[in-house]
Structure 1
Amino acid sequence: MQFNLFTFIFLFAISTSVLSLLWLNFRQDKAINNSFNVVPEGFSKSIKLEDHQKAGSYTKAKLLLNHFEIIFSTVVLLIWTLGGAMDSLNSYWSQRILDPVFMGTVFVLSIMLIASLIDLPFSIYRTFVLEQKFGFNRMTIRTFVGDLFKEILLTLILILPLIYAILFLMNIESIGNYWWIYVWLIISGFSLIMMWIYPSYIAPIFNKFNLLENESLKNRITSLLTRTGFGSDGIYVMDGSKRSSHGNAYFTGIGKNKRIVFFDTLLKGMEDKEIEAILAHELGHFHHKHTQKRMVSSFIFSFASLALLGFLIKQTWFYNGLGVTEPSSHAALVLFALALPVFSFFITPFSNLASRKHEFQADAFAASHTDANDLISSLIKLYKENSSSLSPDKYYSAFHDSHPSAVLRIERLQ
């Protein structure tokens, strides 16, 4: 291994991000402890102290698990890079597969599968211990294993050809230094196609979707869609209770292939007028074109990232600095994917800030087309049923939360 200055920059970035994440976790834990025995002002009539404390305990349990995940994932990252594991895996496959594109595809797939296996114990603990302890888990071992195999199969069918196409473009000499533009076009096109096919073809692989049968609720929703000028491919109920008691709703798809989806757990705990208000919030995102804005932002970020990779792929110090001795397109792709989150860590608060602004705009839209009090009562029920913290630390929230706290959202609505 020939470590260099970039190695120390990488280690500094890792240390900074890890210490920041742990510091934020400790701040959040302290905030939960400080408000553990008192329901926040304005919620005392709607949320019992017992439910508030359950949410606090649930949040603290997730934080404790996250402590271990942060440290463990950092160790794994260092083993893959500076520890030489990636270099060894690269040597193993290069001795057995001659075609560089196929070899690179197998190499990337191997890392993805190994990473999934490494993360599996955390996933099992989160589902069958943590979620089970607080009464949220409905997942059976059979469903868990079935989901795992479905995800692997989808990876082989959808992601594997994408990886091959990317590496193929990276290895075409006639394209020259601008291969990354073609790769960006492929990735952007793939993303749009996935958004189109997900509601009708991907989601049903994991869940059952039935058309909404509640006529009074259906009439409310139809009236709301008419008032706001929206159309959809249908109003569906998803069997979310198959995996969890957490409730949710979402509006998915692009173009004419859009679906309104309610979790069955959500419908059981809400009144029709509250469900209408929740849907109005989701429609607010479409009214303000938040989905399109996030999509454009994502495309711009991926364009800039691939342009940077186009520069780094030719730099020997990039490979050596991250523990790889033999430069290659597939090694550059994986190294970049591993290192990018480390260096882009401090961009996260700005992304979440924009997301929280979008949530306020969607709330305002819902309040203008439904009764704001209905949205307030639905938010309180959602926070209660999902055991979400009502008093998060402001810095933790800035880094991690894409949604404003319940207190801030309700204050705005009032």
Structure 2
Amino acid sequence: MPPSTPAPSLLSPSVLLTLVFAAALLAGLALRLWLASRQIRHVAQHRSTVPAAFAGRIPLAAHQKAADYTVAKARFSLLEMALSAAVLLGWTLLGGLDALNRALLTWLGGGMVQQLALLAAFAAISGLIDLPATLYQTFVIEQRFGFNKMTPRLWLADLAKSTLMGAAIGLPIASLILWLMGAAGAFWWLWAWGAWMAFNLLLMVIYPLFIAPFFNQFKPLEDASLKERVTALMQRCGFAAKGLFVMDGSRRSAHANAYFTGFGAAKRVVFYDTLLRQLNVGEVEAVLAHELGHFKHRHIVKRIAGLFALSLAGFALLGWLSTQVWFYTGLGVVPNLMLEGVAGSAPNDALALLLFLLAAPVFTVFISPLFAQLSRRHEFEADAYAMAQADGRDLATALLKLYEDNASTLTPDPVYVKFYYSHPPAVERLARMPIATANTAATPGYST
């Protein structure tokens, strides 16, 4: 039991943090629920009619399927948001993390093993809590709309693989950071930040070579005409890749995609097999040109640099907060130094990490529109580059097919878009592309 201490003042840092955290949690939840409700209402109101900009190219049945799919996901997200807020409250102010820490201290004593056990137990419990929602999304929502291709056996295999991979990758880096927190002095956070960034760069190299093949099959692109056209495009754009691969995405989902992976000489171009079935050669070239636009405008490098800067600020803030008793007590945890016996000499490093990871999203949710806006700007720049390197009409028709095949709504709520969308909505995006119809140029957008 902790030693007796005077009741905290209402103006103490601990109480202030509790009040600020609770207020931010409730405000963020209210904001996200309001945005999801707007999205549901707006999409449902526009379900009965295909927007004029897409009349003749998107069937009404496909438009209605996209609306129903969007509404189903948004309605389920209302429950997920409420549940995640309750779980977060349970871990923090209601004492869940504190109880787990005390139990492991009693069982294992203080030390590195107990700290790693705390991280692992937290991850395992959180995964079990999220499991029903994941199952519902996959085998109910995705299944209902014809996107799920997963079998229960494959799902279980993926779960086992991801758990093993998470432990194999996560435990060593967690051990290193925890060791640095205890052994590197007051500026441990700077060393930990360097280790974390080096780890992320290493992961970009090894992911396409060792991790991704653990879950999916990657075969060299065999279509000679497509390979020739894609190779010519990459040469024009000055992009060198390790190879062109086709991934068996259809084993798990009917959704289609293409992406670059890797870093430096390990870069690869990956096409989902579903994408190659849905698009013709010109459209695939246009989609790849869009991805090359991100490369040409150095969007990936800029995002990595942004990640470096934000994570440095985060580690610096954690370095300070981890030394403040009110940081723990204000979030519902009694730090080990306030406990009696062996526990009183146990390090608080794992506690500090978990509390920071739990609390930070509560506050950063309010600045997420800034990152979404930047991402949408990058997408416009990549589209413009693609239209300069390939046929803009192919890019437009490819996007139309992908919107239809992925059941992406053509009428999202404008406020929801500004807050969440990393890609511009269809009307804004296609309005900048040459489409062979007078409707597009004449249509200013959609009603709010």
TM-score, normalisation: structure 1:
0.98
The one-letter amino acid paired with 2:97 is: M
Deviation at 1:99, TM superposition (A): 4.6
* Partner Cα distance (1:119, 1:99) in 2: 29
The AA in structure 1 aligned to 2:118 is F
Q: CA separation in 2, counterparts of 1:99 and 1:365?
A: 56
Matched residues in 2 for 1:378 and 1:326: separation? 55
Q: Deviations over 1:128-153 (max 9, x none)?
A: 00000001110000110001011110
1:32 maps to what in 2?
43
CA distance in 2, matches of 1:48, 1:406: 15
Match for 1:17 among 28, 46, 49? 28
Note the aligned Cα RMSD (angstroms): 1.1
> Are positions 1:229 and 2:249 aligned together?
no
- Do the aligned partners of 1:207 and 1:239 also contact (CA within 8 Å) in 2? yes
Contact 2:40-2:75 at 8 Å conserved across structures: no
Alignment of 1:57-96 (within 5 A): 57-96=68-107
1:343 aligns with 2:354: no
Cα distance in 2 between the residues matched to 1:106 and 1:321: 23
Residue in 1 that maps onto 2:65: 54
CA displacement 1:174-195 (0-9 Å, x = unmatched): x321100011011100100001
Report the CA distance between 1:45 and its aligned residue: 1.2
1:370 to 374, 377, 390: 390
Q: How many residues align?
A: 412
Partner of 1:395: 415
Q: Find the counterpart in structure 1 of residue 379 from structure 2.
A: 359
Residue 238 of structure 1 aligns with which residue? 247
Question: Residue 271 of structure 2: SS of its match in structure 1?
Answer: strand
Cα shift readout 1:355-378 (whole Å, capped 9, x = no counterpart)? 111100100110000010000000
Matches within 5 A, 1:13-412: 13-172=24-183, 175-327=184-336, 328-412=348-432
Q: CA deviation at 1:156?
A: 1.2
SS at match of 2:108: coil
- 1:365-414 Cα deviation digits (max 9, x unpaired): 10000010000000000000000011111111111111001111111223
Residue deviations 1:184-207 (CA, integer Å, cap 9, x gap):
011100100001111111110110
Mapped to 2, the partners of 1:298 and 1:41 lie a distance apart of 40
8 Å Cα contact 1:102/1:164 also seen in 2: no
Q: Contact conserved, 2:220 with 2:244, CA < 8 A, in 1?
A: yes
Task: Kindly indicate whether the alpha-carbon contact (under 8 Å) linking 2:242 and 2:266 is maintained by their aligned counterparts in 1.
Answer: yes
Q: In structure 2, the residue corresponding to 1:260 is in which secondary structure?
A: strand
Whole-angstrom CA distance in 1 between matches of 2:127 and 2:198: 26
CA distance, structure 1, for counterparts of residue 133 and residue 380 of structure 2: 33
The structural deviation recorded for 1:316 is 1.1
Within 1, Cα distance between the matches of 2:376 and 2:332? 39
Tell me how far 1:311 sits from its aligned partner: 1.0
Matches of 2:163 and 2:215 in 1, distance apart? 13
What are the Cα deviations for residues 261-316 of structure 1, in whole angstroms up to 9, with x where unaligned?
A: 11001111111000000000001101111111001101100100111111111111
Q: Any stretches of 5+ residues in structure 2 without a counterpart?
A: 3-7, 9-13, 337-347, 435-448
- Find the aligned partners of 2:353 and 2:244 in 1 and give their Cα distance: 40
Match of 2:343 in 1: none
Q: TM-score, normalised by structure 2?
A: 0.91
Could you give the per-residue CA deviations for residues 40-96 of structure 1, whole angstroms, max 9, x where no partner exists? 121111101110000000000000110000000100001111111111110111122
TM-superposition CA deviations, 1:341-365 (whole Å, max 9, x none): 0011111100111111110010011
Q: CA deviation at 1:102?
A: 2.0
2:197 is aligned with what amino acid? Answer: S
Deviation readout 1:88-123 (Å, 9 max, x if unpaired): 110111122235222111101110111011101000
Deviation at 1:325, TM superposition (A): 0.8
Measure the CA separation in 1 of the matches of 2:349 and 2:209.
35
Gaps of 5+ in 1: none
Q: Which has the larger radius of gyration?
A: 2
Q: Which 4+ residue blocks in structure 1 deviate beyond 6 angstroms? A: none
